[in-house]
Amino acid sequence: MSKKQKGPKLKTHKATASRIHVTGTGKLMRLKIGRSHLRRHKSSKVRKQFGAKLLIEGGFNKRIRKLLPHTTRRKHPGAETPPDLSTPIE
């Protein structure tokens, strides 16, 4: 009997996983740097912006997805399309 040879396990890079948030649609979001200390002298506008998450765009997406192999958006196998509500029900 010959067993099928498997590749190496895909492991999540935990440091990246703690810094990156994956939305329900599969987009990658990050927080701004410099938000932990020395905020007192910054303007209130800048301090408010520290709370918002930023979308990661460009070539970094491909690199980060390699570090987070189990975060891709998959369609649920039992998901059905919603019914068409434009037709009247008799």
pLDDT, tens digit (0-9, with 9 covering 90-100), for 10-58: 999 999 999 999 998 889 999 988 888 888 899 999 888 888 899 998 8
Distance CA 81, CA 87 (A): 15
| pLDDT value for 55 | 93
| pLDDT value for 53 | 92
Which is more confident, 63 or 72? 63
Q: Rounded to two decimals, what is the model's pTM?
A: 0.64
- Contacts with 14 (C-beta within 8 Å, 6 or more apart), sequence order: none
pLDDT tier, 70 (very low <50, low <70, confident <90, very high otherwise): confident
Q: Which domains does the chain have, with CATH numbers?
A: 14-67 (4.10.410.60)
